[in-house]
Amino acid sequence: MTGIVVSDVSKSFGDFVAVDDISLTVPDGSLTALLGPSGSGKSTLLRMIAGLEEPGAGQIVIGGADVTRTPARKREIGFVFQHYAAFKHMTVRDNVAFGLEIRRADRAKIRSRVDELLRLVHLEAYAKRYPSQLSGGQRQRMALARALAVEPRVLLLDEPFGALDATVRRDLRAWLRRLHDEVSVTTILVTHDQEEAMEVAGQIVVMNGGRIEQVGSPRELYEAPANDFVAGFVGPVTELAGSKLRPHDVDIRIDPVDGAMEAQVRRVTHLGFEVRVELEAGDGRRLWAQLTREEAEQLELMDGQIVYVRASRRMPVALA
């Protein structure tokens, strides 16, 4: 049992409230994402869970034990930083072995454990290199191996892929997902990238201004956002006849149908697999629709054309 329970935790820097009375449960073995814009308090919350920052108020429980006043080194956590935080003067092997060595583990045991981890992160061939001789993606995999070496009870990742190229980032994301299925240690991933959170996490915590806006599965957040902020943060939103909907839920017809509103096509943009249609509705409001290529080909839309639009599906919650 290594779930995490955060109760009424706050943290201020001077007058500035970075984390404002947050309560949160991270289920044992889950992969939970803290998602929110930059400055929303994600790192501060994560660092308090790690023990790297002391909460101003509240309680943090890991695996049933109150660790609020426990120093980081005794929390048995693994922490991965955005900028790798590699030990520059140590080889990859020594970096990974660090946690075991300071525990004075048996030499042979350290060797085999480090070998196992290097295999897990595909760095067997790089054991003797120094961090400066690795790519960003490799450094981050080394940092992950280093954190996992001590068999932490929870794994905390602060924007681990934030400093990497888009393609490397996508690869590592998928790899992290598989890794979690294999190791299944309770994991919290901090990110400001909704696609990353949606792709990797089972539970997403949306944060804004030091508070939690909503907690749910990626699907719940997308289909039933609790408010405007969440709706806009986890996916695109457009407005039709006063209600909000996802652009792919805008139904475009050539002929008038019941409940549809007249609209004029302003612009059609082809973006590979999707086609974006910008429209001006009869009430003068602008909206946009997201079509598949097939749908767009069938409709044969042209700029200036008059069409009829309605919502094929609205978001269930009335948004402010």
Of 4 and 86, nearer to other proteins (C-beta) is 86
Element (H, E) at 69: none
Q: Return the range that interacts with ligand ADP (CB under 6 A); candidates 39-47, 68-76, 148-156, 245-253.
A: 39-47
How many chain residues are in contact with ligand ADP, going by CB under 6 A?
A: 10
Query: Residue 47 region, left (φ>0) first, then alpha (ψ -120 to 50), else beta?
Result: alpha
Confirm or reject binding of residue 216 to other proteins (CB under 8 A): no
Confirm or reject binding of residue 104 to other proteins (CB under 8 A): no
How many chain residues are in contact with Mg ion, going by CB under 5 A?
A: 1
Answer for which of 6, 9, 18, 142 binds ligand ADP (CB under 6 A) is 18
Binding to Mg ion (CB under 5 A): which residues in 38-57? 43
Instruction: Return d(Cα 200, Cα 19) in angstroms, integer.
Output: 24
Q: Cα 241 from chain centroid?
A: 32
Q: Please give the C-alpha separations between residue 255 and each of 251, 265, 286, in angstroms, as whole numbers.
A: 12, 14, 20
Taking the CA atoms of the chain, what radius of gyration do you get in angstroms? 24
Helix (H, G, I), strand (E, B) or coil at 266: strand
Per-residue x/- mask for other proteins, residues 16 to 55, rule CB under 8 A? ----------------------------------xxx---
Q: How many CB atoms lie within 10 A of CB 34?
A: 29
Least distance from ligand ADP to the Cβ atom of residue 21, Å: 15
- DSSP state letter for 40: S
- DSSP state letter for 283: T
Planar angle of CA 11, 151, 83, nearest 5 degrees: 55
Confirm or reject binding of residue 167 to other proteins (CB under 8 A): no
Confirm or reject binding of residue 22 to ligand ADP (CB under 6 A): no
For residue 162, the number of C-alpha atoms closer than 13 Å in the C-beta half-sphere is 18
Per-residue x/- mask for ligand ADP, residues 42 to 61, rule CB under 6 A? xxx-----------------
Element (H, E) at 215: strand 211-216
Confirm or reject binding of residue 38 to ligand ADP (CB under 6 A): yes
Of 61 and 85, nearer to other proteins (C-beta) is 85
Confirm or reject binding of residue 189 to other proteins (CB under 8 A): no
Element (H, E) at 286: strand 286-292
Q: Return the range that interacts with Mg ion (CB under 5 A); candidates 37-45, 65-73, 202-210, 307-315.
A: 37-45
Residue with tokens 């289909």: 223
Q: Which residues bind Mg ion (CB under 5 A)?
A: 43
Q: Which residues bind other proteins (CB under 8 A)?
A: 50-52, 71-79, 81, 83, 85-89, 98-99, 102-103, 130-132, 143, 146-147, 150
Q: Which residues bind ligand ADP (CB under 6 A)?
A: 13, 18, 36, 38-44
